Amino acid sequence: SAKLEDYEVLGVIGTGTFGTCYKVKKKSSGHLYVWKAIKYGSMKEDKKQLLVSEVNLLSQLKHPNIVRYHDRIIHKECATLYIVMECCEGGDLSLIINKCKRTKCLVTEAFVWHVLYQTARALQACHWHHSATILHRDIKPANVFLDSSGNVKLGDFGLARVLESESGYANTIVGTPYYMSPEVIKGNKYNRMSDIWSLGCLAYELCTSSPPFTGSNIKELARKILDG
């Protein structure tokens, strides 16, 4: 099994839902990976269960448009779990959108279609997974990555929920407010369509460099989303 000493840490990439991400190099091969370091010592039991489900989920998802899981390392003394994943050298879409804002330019229509098509393929693999329906539940620019060849990779399944039945719905309100669908805001049951709504919001933001709905607070944002 993998050990911490097998990898050399090159630097911090950022902080996600549960932990810090590092760029690392495997010493034996020189290949680059991303470590998601998650401290679980102070987590409540339900959070630990969510963490276990995320890791199990990642190991199941094998698709060219989903960030590939490689391994996990448990460091019991530090109560830290390290998830080793594919390194996407092209960064995420939030970096591209922020650059467009700074330079007052827009991405090409061809790029929008490219992202939309490949992200939809990733969602199709999740939504129609052979063992269960998997909702991503937090599609946003920062969770859509590009590899060194420009291929789109959907990542950060920290909020994903596995629905065991075909007609399954999930109740919990999670996700990034700008991209939350009307049924999620209402607290109603929802399924695959909420991910598709978020994908539509992503396409809009790629085209315009700003999300389709904005508000000075959550209440105003929710009202605008509900009003359409």
pTM of the entire structure? 0.86
Longest CA span, the chain:
56
Name the residue with higher pLDDT: 64 or 59: 64
User: How many folded domains does the chain comprise?
Assistant: 2
Q: Which of 70, 86, 102 is the last residue of a domain?
A: 86
Q: Which of the following is catalytic: 46, 92, 138, 195?
A: 138
Contact between 11 and 20 under an 8 Å Cβ cutoff? The reply is no
Verify that 123 and 66 share a domain, yes or no.
Answer: no
Verify that 44 and 118 share a domain, yes or no.
Answer: no
By CB atoms closer than 10 A (0-12, 13-18, 19+), residue 94 is: middle
Verify that 197 and 121 share a domain, yes or no.
Answer: yes
- Domain ranges, residue 142: 93-227
Give 96-116 pLDDT, tens digit per residue: 999 999 999 999 999 999 999
pLDDT exceeds 60 at position 191: yes
CATH of the domain at 117: 1.10.510.10
92 noted as active-site residue? no
Give 143-190 pLDDT, tens digit per residue: 999 999 999 999 987 666 655 444 556 665 555 688 889 988 888 877
- Which residue, among 125, 145, 222, has the nearest Cα to 182 in the 3D structure? 222
